[in-house]
Amino acid sequence: MALIAPSMLSADFLNLQRDIEMINNSEADWFHLDVMDGRFVPNISYGMPIIKQMKKVAQKTFDVHLMIVEPEKYFEEFKKAGADYLTIHYETGFHIHRSLTTIRALGMKAGLSINPHTPVAMVKDIIHEIDLLLIMSINPGFGGQKFLPLTYRKIREAKQLITEAGASTLIEIDGGVTLENAADIVAAGTDVLVAGNTVFSSSDPAETIKKLKQAGK
């Protein structure tokens, strides 16, 4: 059964505590937190102070996705803010292995994300250092985009790579996840579904989370 990680980027920030408590009481497994700096992606979201405040209310795993340049400058601060998983992008630098091992040494699970144009094969030599492989199924930066079909092939390739390596890496999909495609995404080999607009634009977010969970069986 896939884990469900509602993306807080789509939450109502005027009623953030309400939405956090909704997730606490729902069948969701994680909180997915997108941190954007306006440089790596053409959007700005929120950072450590907001995450630290959210942690006071949230009762589930914090899955923090850094869409920022030079993420290595902030690993300790995100640990202090409450990150359980900390994901960086393959495309942000040359010292990926060092960054992953540093994240793990700080007591967090290390995530690595790849954009739609980055081949899965690029992570082959470091798969054992990756706790969470986040395959972007849209071009990162904004919610509400449509799922890119090429992602299905990438999920299958990633699953094969992980299996052959004997690694325990989880596969996470972020972008364009809906009630209509969730079952197919999980069937391809996905372990974690991120859903933002699908959850928070629905009339009953908790029920939508329940349906996503059922689709991921």
Looking at the chain, the whole-number percentage of residues with pLDDT higher than 90 is: 89
Both tokens assigned to 34: 């997108």
Residue 87 host element (H or E)? strand 85-89
Q: Output the domain CATH number for residue 133.
A: 3.20.20.70
Task: Please state the domain count of the chain.
Answer: 1
| Lateral strand order in the sheet of 170-174 | 3-6, 192-195, 170-174, 132-136, 109-114, 85-89, 61-67, 30-36
CA distance 90 to 161: 17
Return the pLDDT at 209. 98
Distance (Å, whole) CA 76 – CA 3: 26
Catalytic residues: 34, 174
Read off the pLDDT of residues 128-171 as tens digits, 9 standing for 90 and up: 999 999 999 988 766 667 899 999 999 999 999 999 999 999 99
Q: What CA–CA distance (Å, rounded) separates 41 from 175? A: 14
Retrieve residue 128's tokens. Answer: 């054992």
Contacts with 53 (C-beta within 8 Å, 6 or more apart), sequence order: none
Residue-number span of the structural domain to which 7 is assigned: 3-215
Q: What pLDDT, on a 0 to 100 scale, did the predictor assign at position 143?
A: 63
Average of per-residue pLDDT values in the chain: 95
| CA gap 157, 118 in Å, rounded | 13
Residues 6+ apart with CB under 8 A from 87: 63, 64, 65, 66, 110, 111, 112, 113, 132, 134
C-alpha 90/C-alpha 111 separation (Å) is 10
pLDDT digits (tens, 9 = 90+) for 11-23: 999 999 999 999 9
179 vs 42: which has the higher pLDDT: 179
Q: What average pLDDT does the segment 72-86 reach?
A: 98
Residue 94: is its pLDDT beyond 90?
A: no
Scanning 82-187, the segments in alpha helix (DSSP H) are: 96-105, 150-165, 182-187
Range 100-127 average pLDDT: 97
Q: pTM to 2 decimals?
A: 0.96
